[in-house]
A = this chain, B = another copy of it.
């Protein structure tokens, strides 16, 4: 394996959003030495074959044509001093026209290139990716950070095989969402792909098989930033102590554009679906009273607050409660994960790994697996798996992942 080409491009769907602009601005601030690497989960693995943060370039698509300085200013994540220091660089980036479709995301107000056929859309996306790669003379990763789309009917025959999907593309099927068009376009040209949103992207049999066929690394979906992160950390420990979870009531309040989209029932459903089974999986039984509420609450802006109330039964039937209140910042948690996901996908690509990269499950609420396998949700195990995977190069050929001990009940 070589590390000659040390640069990397990240092409973002939804580049002008809060997470996208924060990722770009943050990278620029780090490159200028104005910020350190706090909050970047893999910063401490810098002796491995991951692209240096300083060598990452960004571009991408958006339905708004504001340059990134204007977008970042609107989101209010970075303060005016920070933005001033990188104003020129941000102003120099104006997103490419995005594919978007009101049928899949009612928040879309300006429908840039949807007048084209699906095949033309694929072509346009691939042209963007090629130009970007040539411009920076480096490989490119595509990552979806766009607003959540409505749920798609995944059992439809067109999503079951590569062939059927290609046919549907040819037919300009209205069932294919923009997120899927981006996924197809990337895989088709060998570009690693990640889905950081709850939208349906690569996660249908047709596209997973397509990625396996082409040996293109893919990962997703739905970045694990706040409350689900907390759940997958805490629940395995409650199980280890045999504290029975009678109920887990989760409320989220957030006030950014993402929050507004989630306030729409159709999008919320996509979100809650990806959260649903995580808890049961960590505990190994079905929690009867698991409730998740997500509310748009304007005073918070990009800040987000999660309030979790956990009711447990302990020894001799005694009831106890754990309440966790996480006052966090959505984009500040999400942006570094997006960057790390791109670096890991690039590493996978260099190693010629293709299909779902399961070792990256720690980054996602609904980790993609090959062959319909149940994903691992427990945070500590996920993290161990990632660390093992990152060290595989150094350990030459040692590809064994840390597994939970044998025996169906013997889990952490």
Contacts and interface: CB of A to CB of B under 8 A. Distances in A.
Contact of A321 (B45, B318, B327): B327
12 contacts: A22-B316, A38-B316, A39-B313, A41-B240, A43-B242, A78-B316, A291-B297, A299-B319, A314-B329, A314-B333, A318-B329, A379-B380
A295 B249 contact: yes
Interface residues of A, number: 91
A324 interface: yes
B295 A291 contact: yes
Interface in A294-351: 295, 297-300, 305, 307, 309, 311, 313-329, 332-333, 335-336
Contact of A328 (B41, B299, B320): B320
A44 to B, nearest CB: 5
| Central interface residue in A22, A45, A300, A395, by most chain B CB within 10 Å | A300
Contacts of A244: 38-39
A233 interface: yes
A309 B323 CA distance: 12
B387 A410 contact: yes
Contacts of A373: none
B383 A410 contact: no
A24 B398 CA distance: 49
Contacts of A407: 391, 394
Interface string A384-412: 10011011001100000010111101111
A208 interface: no
Contacts of A394: 407
Nearest to A301: B319
Contact of A45 (B26, B305, B320, B410): B410
A412 B384 contact: yes
A162 interface: no
Interface of A: 22, 25-26, 29, 35-45, 78-82, 229, 233-234, 236-237, 240-244, 246-247, 249, 251, 253, 288-289, 291, 293, 295, 297-300, 305, 307, 309, 311, 313-329, 332-333, 335-336, 362, 378-381, 383-384, 387-388, 390-391, 394-395, 402, 404-407, 409-412
A300 B315 CA distance: 18
A387 B411 contact: yes
B380 A405 contact: no
Given A78-B316, A318-B332, A380-B412, 4 more contacts: A79-B79, A80-B81, A251-B293, A387-B412
- Which of A36, A242, A299 lies at the interface centre, i.e. has the most chain B CB atoms within 10 A of its CB? A299
